[in-house]
Chains A and B, each alone.
Chain A
């Protein structure tokens, strides 16, 4: 057990399509709150969760808030470990080009833009889960 107030490793797993249920938006809000309290945050998108990062969603027809643009703010919150199950992408006929290009700016390197998204295989996902203190599943 870590001491109170210490930084913990939080992993948020996103497994559902973005719109139609409230899971994706709730997850994103919790992620932003956790990051605002300066925790070590990682995100993993797997199963239908990979659809959450697809570019240019239109939600007018279903009357839901369009939060697709909010993922681009993750870099500002220093959330820059965004993992995507590459098999889940392939199984859905998607490639990295279908997703938003999420970046963060490295303060220590004169605000150089760096990629936040990392494609991972299922063996790497097992290691990722293993190293966390706290895992949230949405």
Chain B
């Protein structure tokens, strides 16, 4: 499978996660978000960028429990809770935000 952006074809797996991390751009993130029915706000970017930094440091996408805790530590308790994250990413913060961030599906993803 693939998605088309500016005439360039980006390969994805059958669930729409992009295959090559290096293909990712903010423009692609916006397209992937739209497919998920999400309009990217500053708060969405904050989580997406956090995930990309986490992946860069640890080479994995964090499980949702770990994501929630780490966001809470970095951005404050009002953002480090499932209610806030599910409001941003209704179909699962780890799953949807990882897809938009161009990362693989999280290990042990629920």
Chain A interface residues (CB < 8 Å from chain B): 29, 32-38, 65-67, 69-70, 72-73, 76-77, 111
Q: Check A33–B107 contact: CB distance below 8 A.
A: yes
Name 14 extra pairs, CB < 8 A, besides A38-B65, A73-B62, A111-B73.
A32-B60, A32-B63, A32-B108, A34-B108, A36-B65, A36-B107, A69-B57, A69-B58, A70-B58, A72-B57, A73-B58, A73-B66, A77-B63, A77-B66
Which of A65, A70, A76, A77 has most chain B Cβ within 10 Å? A76
Interface code B3-35, partner A: CB below 8 Å = 1, 0 otherwise?
Answer: 000000000000000000000000000000000
Whether A65 lies near B110 (C-beta < 8 A) is: no
B110 partner residues in chain A, CB cutoff 8 A: 36
Point out which of B65, B73, B107, B110 has the most chain A C-beta atoms below 10 A from its C-beta.
B107
CB-based contact A66/B59 at 8 Å: yes
User: What would be 16 A-B contacts, judged by CB atoms less than 8 Å apart?
Assistant: A29-B108, A32-B60, A32-B107, A34-B108, A36-B65, A36-B107, A37-B108, A38-B65, A67-B60, A70-B59, A73-B62, A73-B66, A76-B62, A76-B69, A77-B63, A111-B73
Shortest B24–chain A CB gap in Å is 17
Contact B60 A33 (CB under 8 A): no
Interface residues on B, range: 10 to 19
B70 on the A face (CB < 8 A): yes
A33 and B73 within 8 A (CB) = no
Specify which chain A residues have a CB less than 8 angstroms from the CB of B57 in the assembled complex.
Answer: 69, 72
Q: Please report the C-alpha to C-alpha distance between residue A29 and residue B106 in the assembled complex, in whole angstroms.
A: 10
Chain B residues within 8 Å of A36, by CB: 63-66, 107-108, 110
Q: How far is the CB of B93 from chain A (nearest CB, A)?
A: 14
Contacts of A35 in B (CB 8 A): 63, 108
The 3 closest A-B pairs by CB, nearest first: A33-B108, A36-B63, A36-B108
From A75, which residue of chain B is reached at the shortest CB distance? B66
> Can you name the residue of chain A whose Cβ is closest to the Cβ of B64?
A36
Report chain A residues within 8 Å CB of B60.
Answer: 32, 67, 70, 73
Chain B 59-110 residues near chain A, CB threshold 8 A = 59-60, 62-66, 69-70, 73, 107-108, 110
Inter-chain contacts of B108 with A (CB < 8 A)? 29, 32-37
